[in-house]
Structure 1
Amino acid sequence: MVEADQQADSAIGTTASNTEGTAMSVSEKSKNILKKWLPDVLFVNLLYRMKIGRFPRLAHPVTFNEKILRRSLYPDPRFADLADKLLVREYVRNAIGEEHLIPLLTRPDVFTDEVFNSLPSSFVMKANHGSGFVKIVRDKAKTSFEELHSLAERWLATNFYHVARERHYRKIKRHVFFEALLLDCDGNLPADFKIHCFNQTPGKQRAFILHISDRFTPNPRGDFYDEEWNHLDISIGHYPRSKIASPQPDNLDAMLAKARVLSSSFDYVRVDLYAPLARIYFGELTFTPGAGVYPLYPESVDYEWGCML
């Protein structure tokens, strides 16, 4: 789903709205072409300088963002398959069970009018090869095959690697797919629980939970909690903190347990989960959140998390 990585998109002129086809000027297109041909190391250095305010120490990274940036350039070979929103389903199925997967409606080789007609009245259209490729459809009667097909074609034409040079995305074969629409008891889209999982040594795990609420509204909020649901004085990127902490989820311990299982093979990964109606559903695994250019506040957190990674 659309998330923190949008800031990396906007930093190089490829915002989510552009991904969905907003017309760009000739000058914007020229800038994007130029950026596309910059060498990766030069590109990420400039992007980091623009977003963080200084050049990164890529040879000897210290902060969390610097280490994530280096990961983007030199990814673990496992990252590509597990960042693929379709292939990762098998990993999740084997690790924590089929019941934690959002029901997959269809993954067509070609999105046709017949596929559109076979979809239920509400669903979510996604692409598997990056961040921000999400279309919520609450009422199919209010959209059309032509509208969704045009959007899908723009997604599939986008090489997500070019957005912020996260190299593991280059290897993902692009597909559009359709999932069931999850709603909470009030009929709203469920909040995101983005669980930053650090595995420093075997048996020594720490988790920080970024709770994204009101995500698809004009006023989304992002609040960090520790494993005991203490509201932390940490913020990330453009998400404002809430003045009052949200109630602790009833199934917090179960969510953390699932996140620990899914993250156990890695020194760090962000595990995204949803928990509507007392259920737990998997969202995605993110190995390079914000592409390593998403500011953490206070800055000391960037150094503290860097020590854990």
Structure 2
Amino acid sequence: MIDYNYFEYQAKIIRTKFVSDKAYLTKRFVCKLGYTPNFCSPQSFNEKVTARMLFERSPLFTKLADKCAVRELIATKIDEAFFVPLVGAYKCFDEINFEQLPNQFVLKCTHDSGSAMVCRDKSGFDITAARAKIKNHLKMNMYFRKREWHYKDICPQILIEHFIDLYIDPKSHSTITTCRVHCFEGKPEFLEIDVQDTQGNDYSNMYNTDWELQPFRVDLKENSPSPLAKPQQLKDIIELSKKLCFTYGYSRIDFLLSQDHIYFSEITLTPNAGRMVITPAEWDFKLGSLWRSY
């Protein structure tokens, strides 16, 4: 069988030799957001995210993007009780002994996004399909796929984490799948809450830190039709974000919520590779104005 994904990936590697990061990101930016960016004097949020990708080449960014290294990096800032319990880290798929794994777990690579696989019942888990998917992801470098420089030098590994029963809203019975805290200049400003209702429909709500729904949306996601009750963990989420976010500039701190606990997920510095659709479009520039130190 011909692996078209492999050939597409190889073509992207070759493209980096002929198309600069700036030219590539500019073209993608215009196609997705509809305006010509100014990366030398950025004003909008997406311009500043992309300028960071082009001009800020800190080794710290690579450590933060590495799902294994970031645990060690932030262990001095927050208690390890806020980490999703780790089953193990592996260099290759065949090191994993599935008989020794818990019945529920999450399998993911350390160097990319999109590789995660959730197992809710080990007896029905397709190990053959998982092996093929993970081996494919281990061969690919996120830099060549999206030109996000900080992924380039991550050493690929496999992580297996314990499965977390996610928070269910007592009002709507919807599940909060992810909580993303957008922080500017050392201050949490907005919470992006991804929601899935009982029929499996996905939504996303943007709140301020007082849990007031905001008049803008991201990535064309609709607000949930039913209002969400303020989680009892909100204050702790904000306090943890203050401890983890950058003192200057922008950073996004992501969490998973269970019914009675908070778990750190990741620190994101370049959301959607600088092509996050923000509506109304004026909010792209309003958010950019909060990133004062760029």
TM-score scaled by length of structure 2 = 0.88
Deviation of 1:265 (Å): 3.6
Deviation of 1:294 (Å): 1.2
Alpha-carbon contact 1:197-1:263 (below 8 Å) kept: yes
d(CA) in 2 for partners of 1:141, 1:232: 43
Q: 1:59 aligns with which of 40, 43, 46?
A: 40
1:273 aligns with 2:255: yes
Tell me which residue corresponds to 1:288: 270
1:161 aligns with 2:128: no
Q: State, as a whole percentage, how many aligned pairs show the same letter.
A: 26
Q: What do you get for the CA RMSD once the two structures are aligned?
A: 2.7
Secondary structure at the aligned position of 2:259 is classed as helix
The Cα offsets for residues 96-142 of structure 1, whole Å up to 9 and x where unpaired, read as 11100000101022322652222111110011112222101111221
d(CA) in 2 for partners of 1:216, 1:267: 37
Alpha-carbon contact 1:113-1:145 (below 8 Å) kept: no
Q: 1:122 aligns with which of 64, 87, 104?
A: 104
Query: 1:224-243 counterparts in 2 under 5 A?
Result: 224-243=206-225
Tell me which residue corresponds to 2:30: 49
Matched letter for residue 79 of structure 2: G
Alpha-carbon contact 2:110-2:156 (below 8 Å) kept: yes
TM-score scaled by length of structure 1 = 0.84
Between the two proteins, the alignment pairs up a number of residues equal to 285
Tell me which residue corresponds to 1:4: none
| Shift in alpha-carbon separation, 1:127–1:114, aligned structure 2, 3 A | closer
| Shift in alpha-carbon separation, 1:62–1:123, aligned structure 2, 3 A | same
d(CA) in 1 for partners of 2:113, 2:6: 25
Query: 1:124-273 counterparts in 2 under 5 A?
Result: 124-184=106-166, 190-199=176-185, 205-214=187-196, 219-273=201-255
Matched letter for residue 39 of structure 1: S
Secondary structure at the aligned position of 1:112 is classed as helix
Matched letter for residue 278 of structure 2: L
Deviation of 1:219 (Å): 2.2
Matched letter for residue 255 of structure 1: I
The Cα offsets for residues 134-169 of structure 1, whole Å up to 9 and x where unpaired, read as 101111221233221111101101110122211111
Unmatched runs of 5 consecutive residues or more in structure 1: 1-20
Query: 1:71-150 counterparts in 2 under 5 A?
Result: 71-75=52-56, 76-112=58-94, 115-150=97-132
Deviation of 1:218 (Å): 5.2
1:68 aligns with 2:49: yes
Alpha-carbon contact 2:255-2:262 (below 8 Å) kept: yes
d(CA) in 1 for partners of 2:60, 2:7: 38
| Shift in alpha-carbon separation, 1:257–1:167, aligned structure 2, 3 A | same
Deviation of 1:277 (Å): 2.1
Of structures 1 and 2, the one with the larger relative CO (CA 8 A, separation 6+) is 1
